Structure 1
Amino acid sequence: MELLHLRYFVAVAQELNFSTAARKLHMAASPLSRRIKDLENELGHRLFDRDTHHVRLTPAGGALLPIARGVLDEVDSIRWRLDETARPRRTTVLLGIPGGIHPDLRERIDALAERVRDRFEIKRWPGASERLVEAVCDGRLTLTLARLPVGGDPALEQLPVMSERLGAVVPGDRFAERESVSLAELTDLAYAGSPAAATTAYFRGLDQQLSDFGIKKRIRLSSVTFDGVSEIVSSGLAFSVSMLDPRSPMQNYRLENVAVLPFSDFDPRLDTGLLWRKDRADGGDLEEVVAVAREVFAEPLQI
């Protein structure tokens, strides 16, 4: 008995019509009928009652059908079972995600996750950039996105992934119908920096740059969120700096009487990088993920 005999038998048993079963098997009805007779002779049982109008399973045929299906299912599953056995187990990769990540960057991260999905499952972990970088250093996170610059830890390697242009977050009524704003027009306003929980080395450096450009007043916001900064700006007391692209999630914090305008005499940009420990990438457990990341982010996003 060959497996083909069982496949032929199951096809006829499902259709109860030799011509229809033959078409599905891509063969003629006569050779199919002969194969069924060969199987009946080998088993010593008639499997079908046939006349000019009907085909019916005999009791022996009815008993054989679930057996034949079970055998074929087992045989058909051999390939995927071997594939599952040979395929390495998926490793979970914890990826740090700072707040306000641009949707285009999220798409790139999704592309990275799809490229490595057979070997790795990428799960996202939120946090402030500096804390996320610390977690990569001590092994609590596998890799992370972070706002640059970060501390110059020699154990870390970084890949630039995005550069975003920043604009001035200003009172809307004062700068109505304006297409840009200069730093000189903001010197009478206080600068309201990022909330303490989201402050990065970049924004600390930006604070100093603004001071050098003549922006001397400050409103320190140690315990409010981004919408709190928007409230201060909306009231006309201050301005802030944030992502210029209207698709940025940071734009969701903008209230009425708040506008985000490009600077006419200043071009601040916030860069984001992907960071990991060198020892985990150079012949380590992240070598494959990092290699794919270098391909996905071969050209950093410019927003």
Structure 2
Amino acid sequence: MELLHLRYFAAVAQELNFSTAARKLHMAASPLSRRIKDLENELGHRLFDRDTHHVRLTPAGSALLPIARGVLEQVDSIKWRLDETTRPQRTTLLLGVPTGIHPDLRMRIDALAERVRDRFEVTRWPGATDRLVDAVCDGRLALTLARLPVGGDPALEQLPVMSERLGAVVPRDAFPGRESVALAELADLAYAGSPAAGTHAYFRGLDQQLSDLGIKKRITLNSATFDGVSEIVSSGLAFSISMLDPKSPMHHYRLDNVTVLPFSDFHPRLETGLLWRQDRANGGDLEEVAAAAREIFAEPLHV
């Protein structure tokens, strides 16, 4: 018995029509019928009941069909099984992701994961920038996205991946129909920092810039969330600063009476980098990933 006999049998059993099965097998119906006869003779069982109008499986044919399909599936999977056996085992890499990552940046990260998927499974791990960077330093994370600047640890390599323009988060009813806002117009409002404002160097620096430019009032929210900041802004007591691009996920936190306007006289931008340990990227276990990242992020994103 040859494998072709089983393929011919399975094709006829599926179609229950010799002519249709022959077309799918790219052969004539007469040779196909002869091969089925040869198989029946070898097995000593009639596999099909045939007349001029119908083809039906006999009890022996019904019993053979799952056996034949199982054999064919095993044979057809040989190449795939060999490929899987000889392919290097995939290693899980944890990649840190801070809150509010832009969807265009996520697409680049997805491209990086796809580029290295034969050897690595990239899994995202959420957290605040400072903690994510610490986790890269001590090896708990392989690499991380981080809001820049971060501590100047010489063991880390920083690859700039995105620059985002920031705008003023203001109560809509206080600035109806406006396309921009000047800092002087916000002097009567308190500045409510983002939840990261007290812990991250960039937002601490931004707070100082605002103070130097005449924004003196502050509202500090204990255990602040982005929802909480939006509530304060919506009430008309404060303004905040966030990503200007409407595609940013930070816009999901806006309430109905909250809008984000570009500054007319102030141009803050939030920079994001991809970080890893140099010793792991230069001749270490992340060399392939780092090389792919440098290529994919050769041109940082600007929004």
TM-score range, shorter chain: 0.7 to 0.9
- Residues 136 and 37 of structure 1, relative CA distance in 2, 3 Å threshold: same
8 Å contact 1:196–1:223 — kept in the other structure? no
Please tell me whether residue 162 in structure 1 is matched to residue 162 in structure 2. yes
CA distance, structure 2, for counterparts of residue 59 and residue 170 of structure 1: 77
Unaligned runs of 5+ in 1: none
Contact 2:96 2:125 in 1 (8 A): yes
| 1:5-49 deviations in Å (ceiling 9; x for gaps) | 3323443455555434322321123333443455556x3736457
Listed one character per residue, the Cα deviations across residues 59-92 of structure 1 (whole Å, up to 9, x for unaligned) are: 7766655544443232222112112212223222
Q: Which residue of the partner structure matches residue 181 of structure 2? A: 181
Using the alignment, how far apart are the partners of 1:187 and 1:263 within structure 2? Answer: 13
Tell me what 2:288 maps to: 288
Matches within 5 A, 1:97-246: 97-195=97-195, 199-246=199-246
Q: Is the 8 A contact 2:49 2:58 kept in 1?
A: no
Matched-pair contact (CA < 8 Å) for 1:194–1:221:
no
Higher mean alpha-carbon deviation, 93-102 vs 111-120, is at 111-120
Q: Quickly say closer, same or farther: Cα 1:216–1:115, change in 2 above 3 A.
A: same
Q: Measure the CA separation in 2 of the matches of 1:235 and 1:122.
A: 42
Normalization by structure 1: what TM-score?
0.85
Structure 2 residue matching 1:111: 3-state secondary structure = helix
Mapped contact 1:94–1:143 kept (Cα < 8 A) = yes
Percentage of pairs with the same residue: 82
Q: Are residue 32 (structure 1) and residue 32 (structure 2) matched?
A: yes
- Would you say the 8 A contact 1:99–1:126 is kept in 2? yes
Residue 45 of structure 1 corresponds to which residue in structure 2?
Answer: 44
User: What is the 5 A alignment of 1:252-267?
Assistant: 252-267=252-267
**Which whole-Å deviations, capped at 9, do the CAs of 1:263-286 have from their partners, x for residues lacking one?**
111111001111111222223222
Deviations 1:90-135 (A, max 9, x none): 2222111111222222232233333333332222211111111011
How far apart are residue 258 of structure 1 and its match? 3.3
Structure 1 contact 172–257 (Cα < 8 Å) conserved: yes
| Structure 1: distance between partners of 2:20 and 2:172 | 75
Alpha-carbon deviations, 1:182-238, whole Å to 9, x = none? 223333443322235773111111122222223333333343222333333334443
Q: Is there any run of 5+ residues in structure 2 with no aligned partner, and where?
A: none
Letter in 1 for 2:163: S
Secondary structure at 1:149 match in 2: coil
Alpha carbons of structure 1 residues 59 and 45: separation in structure 2 relative to 1, 3 Å: farther
Contact 1:12 1:18 in 2 (8 A): yes
SS of aligned partner of 1:141: coil
Instruction: Give the aligned length.
Output: 302
| Distance in 2 separating the partners of 1:12 and 1:218 | 79
- 8 Å Cα contact 2:102/2:247 also seen in 1: yes
C-alpha deviation, 1:143, in angstroms: 1.2
Name the CA distance, whole Å, in 1 between partners of 2:18 and 2:251.
68
